[in-house]
Structure 1
Amino acid sequence: MTKETITAAASGTWQLGDLTVNRIGFGAMRLTQNGEVFADGAVPSDRGRAIGVLRRAVELGVNHIDTAAFYFSRLRSANELINQALGPYPDDLVISTKVGPGRAPSGEFLPHATPEQLRGQVHENLRQLGRDHLDVVNLRIIGTDSIAERFGALADLREAGLIRHLGLSNVHPHHVTEARAIAPVVCVQNRYGIGIRPDHDEFLRTCGRQGIAFVPFYSIAGTGAQAGANGERRDEVHAIARAHGAGAAQVRIAWTLHRGPHVLAIPGTGDPDHLTQNVAAGALRLAEDELAVLEALHHEGE
């Protein structure tokens, strides 16, 4: 890839409801601490550096930021970092947040929120972000149980004007069907990447046919998940990266974008150099033979 600065516009755009976003966005989860996310004893991130990364992301054309009130460490809150770095917000900036799980001040994850607790989480996101409404709220769940009551509570807040659009996170196809019977769904956030959840391939395509954005998370990490971009090393990925003068993480991001025009990327980092590389991945065009190699790798072990 060339050395010139590449912006998020190179990735193309998608509509989240009536909101236009560049397909390369930014995930705020890693802003709050160094090392493995949510790990015991993790060191809080440098506040100035985190704020600088957020501002640089916007300078590079990122207009879709993914966050949550439960992204925090002992001294840092992702939402409050976003507020400090970017408020007053650019008119075209879309902030997506998540509700559902909760975290105690100690960092311990709590069980699923009740409808009343979900309403409290929405108000907490509003307070932390300094907004009078939230652009996109994703209901994140664990398991396969009905989401009708919880999604219905968020749909009521949408009708009240506190939420503009609704999405889902960590879900199965039947959840989308259930939710769409209650209110429109603009996006689905699920773990997905090369070799990760190939059983979700058809789910991804179905979302596209329904006009729903599919937003993979942990797509850079491979099997490393929360550990970051230091997941399992695959020679096939690195060989393709070398052919383009790119990094393996950029190939993984580009691969997800090649899965369909409705696929959005939200790679997260607290490193300004990695940020520039992640954004530049939106301009990486993989050849058909390279995609075939990655497709085989994706389905390896099925």
Structure 2
Amino acid sequence: MTPNDIDASAAGSYRLGDRAVRRMGFGSMRLTVNPETGAAIRVLRRAVELGVDHIDTAAFYRTPGGIIDVGPGPVRYATELIRNALSPYPETLVIATKVGPNRLPDHRWGDMASPALLRRQVEENLRLLGVDTLDLVNLRMVRTGTGTFAERFGALAEMRLRLAWTLHRGEHVLAIPGTGDVAHLEQNIAAGALTLRPEDLTEIDQSV
């Protein structure tokens, strides 16, 4: 598959309320890792070119000091990068953000967010995205348990297979892989066109 053949529509669509979005979206958590903001802007614009019409973000996706707390230089917000790259936003684009407990300095999640904190986070999302209303707001819930996401899913194969497996879980499932690299973005979107046989799904299920 060449870059010209890649299209997020290959993964199918799903309805979010009154909006239909493509099941292959883009997650912005890692956008701030590269201190060269032009790279993030290129990735975001390429995602839209490839047919991505929903982006997942949060005001606490920032570097340094954010959810992944990596990267040198001044504070960079994913929401602000989205605004710089895509505003004025395409009418078909849905931006989903989230609010909830913040990450503490020791990397633990804080307690459940208070109403006042939730209001501040909504206002911060509005300001950084440069919008008057938010398309979709998700409430982050802190769940107890052992093992990280990476530990639970580490037995799976390379990323494209993992994304294809995720989409095969059902038409209600949306994928929002994130990256700061255009070539990696194209590989992720191309995964939406992969077809897995029932025996492939069974094998992957057993490895999870």
- Smaller-chain TM-score bracket: 0.7 to 0.9
2:186 matched to which residue of 1? 276
Does 1 or 2 have the higher relative contact order (CA < 8 Å, sep 6+)? 2
Q: 2:187 aligns to what SS in structure 1? A: helix
State the Cα deviation string for residues 44-96 of structure 1 (Å, max 9, x = none): 53200001100000000001100000000133100000000000000000000
Map 1:41-56 → 2, pairs under 5 A: 44-56=34-46
CA RMSD of aligned residues (A): 2.5
Amino acid at match of 1:293: E
Per the alignment, residue 61 of structure 2 pairs with: 71
Mapped pair 1:127 → 2:127: yes
Q: 1:8-41: per-residue Cα shift (whole Å, max 9, x none)?
A: 01111000001111000000000011xxxxxxxx
Structure-1 residue corresponding to 2:69: none
Deviation per CA, 1:153-175, whole angstroms, max 9, x where unpaired?
A: xxxxxxxxxxxxxxxxxxxxxxx
1:262 — aligned with what? Answer: 172
> Contact 1:254 / 1:284 at 8 angstroms: preserved in 2?
yes
Secondary structure of the equivalent of 2:138? strand
Contact kept in structure 2, 1:102 and 1:110, CA below 8 Å: yes
Letter in 2 for 1:26: F
The share of aligned pairs that are identical, in percent, is 55
- Once the 2 structures are TM-superposed, how far is the Cα of residue 253 of structure 1 from its aligned partner? 0.3
Do the aligned partners of residues 14 and 273 (structure 1) sit closer, same or farther apart at CA in structure 2, a change above 3 Å counting?
same
Structure 1 Cα separation of the partners of residues 108 and 44 of structure 2: 26
1:120 Cα deviation (Å)?
1.4
Q: Does structure 2 conserve the Cα–Cα contact (< 8 Å) formed by 1:31 and 1:45?
A: no
Gaps of 5+ in 2: 65-74
Tell me what 1:16 maps to. 16
Q: Which residue of 1 aligns with 2:160?
A: 250
Moved more, 287-296 or 255-264: 287-296
| Structure 1 Cα separation of the partners of residues 180 and 198 of structure 2 | 33
Over 3 Å counting, the alpha-carbon distance change for 1:49 and 1:279 in structure 2 is same
Q: Where does residue 137 of structure 1 map in the other structure?
A: 137
1:1-302 equivalence runs, <5 A: 2-3=1-2, 4-33=4-33, 44-74=34-64, 75-102=75-102, 110-143=110-143, 222-223=150-151, 231=154, 237=157, 248-298=158-208
1:91 is aligned with what amino acid?
E
AA at the equivalent of 2:29: M
Classify 1:224/1:73 alpha carbon distance in 2 versus 1 (closer, same or farther; 3 Å). farther
Distance 1:78 1:274 in 2: 18
Matches of 2:162 and 2:49, distance apart in 1 = 23
| 2: CA distance, partners of 1:141 / 1:291 | 29
